[in-house]
Structure 1
Amino acid sequence: MEKVLIIGSPGAGKSTLAFELSVKTGLPLVHLDKLWWHAGWIESDREDFDARLVAELEKPRWIIDGNYSRTLPMRLAKCDTVIFLDFPRLACLFGVMRRVLRYRGKTRPDMAEGCPEKIDREFLSYIWNFKKKNMPKIKERLSACKTADIITLRSRREVNYFISDII
């Protein structure tokens, strides 16, 4: 486990798991949100984002958390482990609400500087529809991936057991 992807619905705890795993393993941590967003919630252009992502993927060791489905095939081609957080919808919504309360008006550690925590109807809708709209394609790509170990975790309890079993 030297090149690890962590994917799943917003609010499932991808960044939290990535941080815990990084602390436990010493693997460098890359948050895709930090690569994509600039201060003031300004998006990167695709070419810039892709170039920065490719530079990270070429490194010998890493943990990368985030979805950004357009780039999932290139990340799957480079990883040796995928941790897929397949949490229930309500658990993800609860996770986002807890995060909003914790970081309201502040920038999260896994987000680009100058992007204070916020929530809107569009984001809540994305989470609500994630299993229906995003999961089928993610599962299809994971099924086709023959070069990485796929670990599916379905609850925070499973995540905690997984972390406690590392090293």
Structure 2
Amino acid sequence: MRRILIVGSAGAGKSTLAREVAGRLDLPLVHLDRHYWRPGWIPADDADFRTQVAALAARPSWVMDGNYASTLDLRLPRADLLVLCDPSRLVCLARVLRRRWVHRATSRPDLPAGCPEQIDLGFLRYVWRYPARSRPRILAALAAAGTRPAFRRLRTPAETRAFLATLPVEPPAG
């Protein structure tokens, strides 16, 4: 496995899992939020973002976290493994609220500078609606992909621990 794509709802644990997997496998880590957002939560231009994601996906190895359904067609054919972090919506909401509290005075490491953690009603609705709206789009994109990567769906902390147990604890030498 040289290219691992990690997707899921906000608060699902994508970035945390991506950091752990990248460290264990000694692979470059790509947080798509760092490439999409500009200071002040200004989104990247769609065409520029697609170009950037295409270049990132073309690299020989990576662990990439982020949904961005508009770029799945660029990432899925290159991925060796797609991991869907899929805890319940209540777990995701609780984690989002906890994350906001923890990062109230600092920036998260998976976000660019100038994008302080924030929560509004629209964001909470997105998290709540993720299972009905966004997850089906990801699964449909996977089903439609010409070259399908291996697929893992992680719903619980136990499933995540079991997945991580299949990976080396120490980075490979070399």
Q: State the 4+ residue runs in structure 1 displaced beyond 4 angstroms.
A: none
The C-alpha deviation readout for 1:59-79, integer Å capped at 9, x for no partner, is 100011000111112111111
Matches within 5 A, 1:63-74: 63-74=63-74
Equivalent residue pairs, number: 167
For residue 15 of structure 1, give the secondary structure of its aligned residue in structure 2: helix
Displacement of 1:142 in angstroms is 2.0
How far apart, in 2, do the equivalents of 1:72 and 1:10 lie? 17
Whether the aligned pair in 2 keeps the contact of 1:6 and 1:85 (CA below 8 Å) is: yes
Matches within 5 A, 1:3-152: 3-145=3-145, 146-152=147-153
Displacement of 1:90 in angstroms is 0.4
How far apart, in 1, do the equivalents of 2:65 and 2:76 lie? 12
Whether the aligned pair in 2 keeps the contact of 1:8 and 1:84 (CA below 8 Å) is: yes
The C-alpha deviation readout for 1:34-92, integer Å capped at 9, x for no partner, is 00001111111012211211111111000110001111121111111100112111011
How far apart, in 1, do the equivalents of 2:57 and 2:137 lie? 22
How far apart, in 2, do the equivalents of 1:144 and 1:95 lie? 31
How far apart, in 1, do the equivalents of 2:103 and 2:114 lie? 13
How far apart, in 2, do the equivalents of 1:32 and 1:136 lie? 20
TM-score, length of structure 2 as denominator length:
0.92
For residue 22 of structure 2, give the secondary structure of its aligned residue in structure 1: helix
For residue 134 of structure 1, give the secondary structure of its aligned residue in structure 2: helix
Corresponding position of 1:161: 162
Which has the larger displacement, 10-19 or 40-49?
40-49
Displacement of 1:116 in angstroms is 0.7
How far apart, in 1, do the equivalents of 2:10 and 2:103 lie? 15
Displacement of 1:27 in angstroms is 0.7
How far apart, in 1, do the equivalents of 2:164 and 2:74 lie? 26
Determine what percentage of the aligned residue pairs are the same residue.
Answer: 42
Structure 1: gaps (5+ residues): none
TM-score, length of structure 1 as denominator length:
0.95
For residue 73 of structure 2, give the secondary structure of its aligned residue in structure 1: helix
